[in-house]
Structure 1
Amino acid sequence: MSKGSRKSIVASFGLLSAELENHLKGEVSVPVVTPQASSNRVGAGVIGAAHRAIDDIRAERDRLKALVEAGGGALQMLDTGIVDPSPYPDRLPEDDPDAFVLFKKSIETDGQKVPIQVRKHPTADGRYQIVYGHRRWQAAKELGKPVQAIEVDISDLDLVVAQGIENASRQDLSWIERALFASRMDAAGIKPRDIYAALSIDDAELARMRGVYRTVPADIIETIGRAPKIGRPRWVDFAKRINARADALELIRKTLADNSDSALNSDRRFQTVLDALKPAVGEKAPTEILDANGDRLVALNMSSKEVRISAEDQLGKEFIKYVTEQLPALVEQFSLQRAQKNN
Structure 2
Amino acid sequence: MARALDLSEVGGGRLLPLEALSPRPQPRRRFEEASLKALAESVRAHGVLEPLLVRPLGDGKYAIVAGERRYRAARMAGLSEVPVRVVELSEKEAKLFALVENLQREDLNPYEETLGVLDLLSEDLGRPVEEVVALLHRMRDEARRKVPQNVLGSLEARRVEEVFRALGRMGWESFVQARLPLLNLPENLKAALEEGAIPYTAALELKKVKDEPSRKALLEEARAGLSLRELKARVREVLRKEKAPRPWHREVGERLLRLDLEALLPEKRARVEALLAELKELLG
Note the 1:204-215 alignment, pairs <5 A.
204-215=173-184
SS at match of 2:114: helix
Identify unmatched segments of 5+ residues in structure 1: 1-5, 7-46, 50-56, 68-72, 287-300, 307-343
> Deviations 1:16-44 (Å, cap 9, x if unpaired)?
xxxxxxxxxxxxxxxxxxxxxxxxxxxxx
Asked if structure 2 preserves the Cα contact closer than 8 Å seen for 1:93 and 1:225, the reply is: no
Paired with 1:127 and 1:252, the residues of 2 have a C-alpha distance of: 48
**Deviation of residue 91 (structure 1)?**
5.4
**Deviation of residue 110 (structure 1)?**
2.0
Asked if structure 1 preserves the Cα contact closer than 8 Å seen for 2:197 and 2:223, the reply is: no
Is 1:239 aligned to 2:231, yes or no?
no
Note the 1:60-71 alignment, pairs <5 A.
60-61=6-7, 63=8
Q: Assess, with a 3 A threshold, how the Cα gap between structure 1 residues 76 and 223 changes in structure 2: closer, same or farther.
A: farther
Q: Assess, with a 3 A threshold, how the Cα gap between structure 1 residues 238 and 112 changes in structure 2: closer, same or farther.
A: closer
Across the aligned residues of Structure 1 and Structure 2, the Cα RMSD in angstroms comes to: 4.4
One-letter identity of the residue aligned with 2:223:
R
Asked if structure 1 preserves the Cα contact closer than 8 Å seen for 2:55 and 2:63, the reply is: yes
Matched residue, 1:199? 167
Is 1:268 aligned to 2:226, yes or no?
no
Asked if structure 2 preserves the Cα contact closer than 8 Å seen for 1:116 and 1:130, the reply is: yes
Identify unmatched segments of 5+ residues in structure 2: 126-159, 248-284
Is 1:117 aligned to 2:53, yes or no?
yes
**Deviation of residue 193 (structure 1)?**
4.4
2:41 alignment partner, one of 99, 105, 113: 105
Q: Assess, with a 3 A threshold, how the Cα gap between structure 1 residues 147 and 208 changes in structure 2: closer, same or farther.
A: farther
User: How many residues are paired up?
Assistant: 210
Matched residue, 2:12? 74
Q: Assess, with a 3 A threshold, how the Cα gap between structure 1 residues 224 and 236 changes in structure 2: closer, same or farther.
A: closer
Asked if structure 1 preserves the Cα contact closer than 8 Å seen for 2:27 and 2:113, the reply is: no
Is 1:179 aligned to 2:120, yes or no?
no
Is 1:163 aligned to 2:101, yes or no?
no
**Deviation of residue 115 (structure 1)?**
0.9
Q: Assess, with a 3 A threshold, how the Cα gap between structure 1 residues 171 and 214 changes in structure 2: closer, same or farther.
A: closer
Paired with 2:24 and 2:225, the residues of 1 have a C-alpha distance of: 27
**Deviation of residue 174 (structure 1)?**
4.2
Matched residue, 1:135? 69
Give the TM-score normalised by structure 1.
Answer: 0.47
Give the TM-score normalised by structure 2.
Answer: 0.55
One-letter identity of the residue aligned with 1:134:
E
**Deviation of residue 114 (structure 1)?**
1.2
SS at match of 1:48: coil
**Quick check: which has more Rg, 1 or 2?**
2
One-letter identity of the residue aligned with 2:40:
K
Matched residue, 2:145? none
Q: Assess, with a 3 A threshold, how the Cα gap between structure 1 residues 152 and 224 changes in structure 2: closer, same or farther.
A: same
- Structure with the bigger percentage of helix: 2
Asked if structure 1 preserves the Cα contact closer than 8 Å seen for 2:3 and 2:97, the reply is: yes
Is 1:216 aligned to 2:185, yes or no?
yes
One-letter identity of the residue aligned with 2:183:
R
